[in-house]
Amino acid sequence: MSSIDVEQPSTITEIEEPPSTASYHFSLPVLTSSPADTPRPPAETPIELSEPSRMSRRFRSPPQSRAFLKRFFPQATTADWNDWRWQSRNRIRTLAQVEKMLVLSDDERQAMVQGGSLLPIGITPYYMSLLDARNANQPLRRTVIPATGEFVRTPGEADDPLGEDGHSPTPGLVHRYPDRVLLLAHDFCSTYCRYCTRSRVVGHGEILPNETRLKKAFEYIRQTPAIRDVLISGGDPLALSEVKLDWILGELRSIPHIEFIRIGTKMPAVLPQRITPQLCRILRKYHPLWMSVHFLHPDECTPEANQACSRLADAGIPLGAQTVLLKGVNDDVQVMKELNHKLLLMRVRPYYLYQCDPISGSSHFRTSVQAGLDILEGLRGHTTGYAVPTYVIDAPGGGGKIPLLPNYVVGREGDDLLLRNFEGGVFRYPDPQ
């Protein structure tokens, strides 16, 4: 048996801040009291709406972050804490580190000792500070701490459920739809989500941001005029240096038929300190540039996440949230409503609610499809329309996103369509055939 304790070594040589190759400085004090004593933000902590929208240079560190820092990184300063590179270098990656910060359940410990998961452990100190030290069922904790459910295989699951590997004309480029491509910038994420659709790829150190690979991808795009839209994802593209991002975006913008560039990232949720004024200055050079930000739960909508999203929005980047529906994490109308309300306050439009892909070892996370429809039913008409995302299943095998809606058309009488509203009332709409 091996323990999940070491991220796959990376041979990244081109980026300035390859977090997985940085020398690893980590010191933990001997605990003198329970980790549970670490102050936690109450679930209903309101977002600081007074947050200035101007780009202040510093992130504010709430008291619970400072307490976590003092306890587990006593030699570090708040300036270190607010430095995304420090956060990347000091990610929590081993069982020994995790169990000094959390009281592990038997299941969590067994999963980490057993190893064999496709996905390494990686958690930024910032995100770790949001976890409940004693409650293994806390939603955020379930998404980043392994469980033995990862080793259970059920029918219909696959390592590559979306069939991306079969649509890859050149390494790290997925061309599944005629007019758009997915460019995997690299396979590194600052925090690894246990339900990741690309767990077969991320954290393995095999997709590198080297120029040779990327130039082949750019060449394919350049030679394919039908492509008008590029989604840069990964791994998390914003884990790259500004220099590398500037180069990638510049290359894409130099291709005349590329109209639209999108970046998919979880940084505002797991490492909001990454959204620096300097990064925003680079990004805003390449408009129209849109961003899909990955949020799961209202507890991720912290003042720091708010500040990160404000910076991106102030840089003119439209923000849409992508949320994966996960059992025991956010499969509840009230949780989803609170999340979507907080996202709107952070100037992020809830965009997609994804049914969890049937990746290998995901059955403990997957809900029924009816659970997703019930959430949609509980949102539409009961809150602001902007707070209602599109619920989709990404069809296994590469069939693309298929939207799902509760059934609001209840029948027809002659030339009238019978429609059900959010309160269950039936209304007629003239629809002559």
Closest CA to 238 of 167, 176, 315, 177: 315
* Minimal distance, residue 424 CB to ligand SF4, in Å: 37
> Taking contact as CB under 6 A, which single stretch among the options 188-196, 238-246, 295-303, 307-315 is the one that binds ligand SF4?
188-196
Q: Applying CB under 6 A, which of residues 189, 227, 335, 346 lies at the interface with ligand SF4?
A: 189
Site for ligand SF4 contains 366 (CB under 6 A): no
CA dihedral 356, 362, 363, 364 (to 10 degrees): -100
Site for ligand SF4 contains 196 (CB under 6 A): yes
Task: Tell me which residues in 284-323 interact with ligand SF4 (CB under 6 A).
Answer: 294
Q: Applying CB under 6 A, which of residues 12, 202, 329, 356 lies at the interface with ligand SF4?
A: 202
Side-chain half-sphere of 44: how many Cα atoms within 13 Å? Answer: 1
Burial 136-145 (b: 16+ CB within 10 A, else e): bebbbbbbbb
Q: Applying CB under 6 A, which of residues 192, 295, 351, 365 lies at the interface with ligand SF4?
A: 192
Residues 259, 329: Cα–Cα separation, whole Å:
36
Task: Tell me which residues in 218-277 interact with ligand SF4 (CB under 6 A).
Answer: 234-236, 266
> 3-class SS at 341?
helix
Of 71 and 141, nearer to ligand SF4 (C-beta) is 141
Place of tokens 């599944």: 176
Closest CA to 391 of 378, 377, 372: 372
Of 72 and 127, nearer to ligand SF4 (C-beta) is 127
Pairing of strands 416-420, 426-430: antiparallel
Q: Applying CB under 6 A, which of residues 111, 123, 130, 193 lies at the interface with ligand SF4?
A: 193
Of 238 and 249, nearer to ligand SF4 (C-beta) is 238
Site for ligand SF4 contains 142 (CB under 6 A): no
Of 235 and 303, nearer to ligand SF4 (C-beta) is 235
Residues 293, 236: Cα–Cα separation, whole Å:
11
> Taking contact as CB under 6 A, which single stretch among the options 22-30, 71-79, 189-197, 358-366 is the one that binds ligand SF4?
189-197
Of 35 and 234, nearer to ligand SF4 (C-beta) is 234
Closest CA to 348 of 340, 360, 338: 340
Task: Show which residues are catalytic.
Answer: 176-177, 180, 189, 193, 196, 198, 357, 394, 401
